Amino acid sequence: MNILYFRFANSFLEPVWNRNNIASVQVTLAENFGVGERGKFYEDTGCLRDVVQNHLFQIVALLAMEPPAYRGYGAIHNEKAKVFQAMRPLQADDLVRGQYAGYRNEAHVDKHSEVETFCALRLFIDSWRWEGVPWYLRSGKMLPETAAEVLVQLKPPPQKLFDDSTPASGRANYFRFRLSPHTAVALAARVKLAGKEFVGEQRELFLCDEQSEIESPYERLLGDAMAGDGALFSREDSIEAAWAVVDPVLKFHKPVLPYKPGSWGPREADALIAPDGNWFNPE
């Protein structure tokens, strides 16, 4: 809900929130623990079904949707459904599947398991607003941090007026949304350093709310269900459209790749995003 509010409660975002100004979008949901006692569940599900198709796709929909016609969960569902329907079905080259070393020794896990505990994928939304903008999603277990974060990478200025206005290394301007374990919004902008030379550096304007949630996520869902508030729930047409996006790679995908616990997944995930830079690792 923080993304929904920030997007549509602030007018300065709309002029830049499109393919003309945004170079790419990253969504990361990382966990620094393994499957624990959920080995049997993970053997039947895997990371793509468990996290990407539902949790990460819901975040993408909130970031990519058009403004709802009115304040109400029906209007939000309408716009989210359009996003799922515009998603291009995934192909094998769009997906990297990983499995942390030691997963096959977990309880209730097949000793020859090919189930993924890590996924990184490249997604496109074929809509007027987002045509040609790559969305990079990743999630996994036994990663260095437990966090959920979004990075919206902006394009550099169209003219290189200053020598360092387009850094040779590092990122151009971006928006960053931290969703958990605490919430935060950040904007990275270049500012001039003291002196006569037109030389600057990039700094983050960072707004953070470290207050703990009054309710856990599942308490919130149960409370909303009893109150008849469907804003956090999915509609049938959205669910079907989201499954249609991942269905091709559920049937035809490349072998699972090993990765070391405490790393950010297989190296192939870095190669996937390389045409548009590199992953932003939550800290």
Q: Residue 4: helix, strand or coil by DSSP?
A: helix
DSSP state for residue 188 in the 8-state scheme = E
* Amino acid at site 216: S
Give catalytic status of residue 55 as yes or no. Answer: yes
| Distance, CA of 109 to chain centre | 28
* Amino acid at site 55: H
Catalytic pick from 55, 108, 112, 253? 55
Cβ–Cβ < 8 Å for 3, 177: yes
Show the tokens assigned to 209: 């709310």
Residue listed under structure tokens 């080259």 = 93
Query: How far apart (Å, rounded) are the C-alpha atoms in residues 6 and 258?
Result: 38
Q: Facing residues of 134 across strands?
A: 124
Neighbour-count burial for 262-279, b at 16+ CB within 10 Å, e otherwise: ebbbbeebeebbeeebeb
What count of Cα atoms within 13 Å lies in the side-chain half-sphere of residue 70? 2
Query: How far apart (Å, rounded) are the C-alpha atoms in residues 214 and 88?
Result: 38
Q: Which residues are catalytic?
A: 55
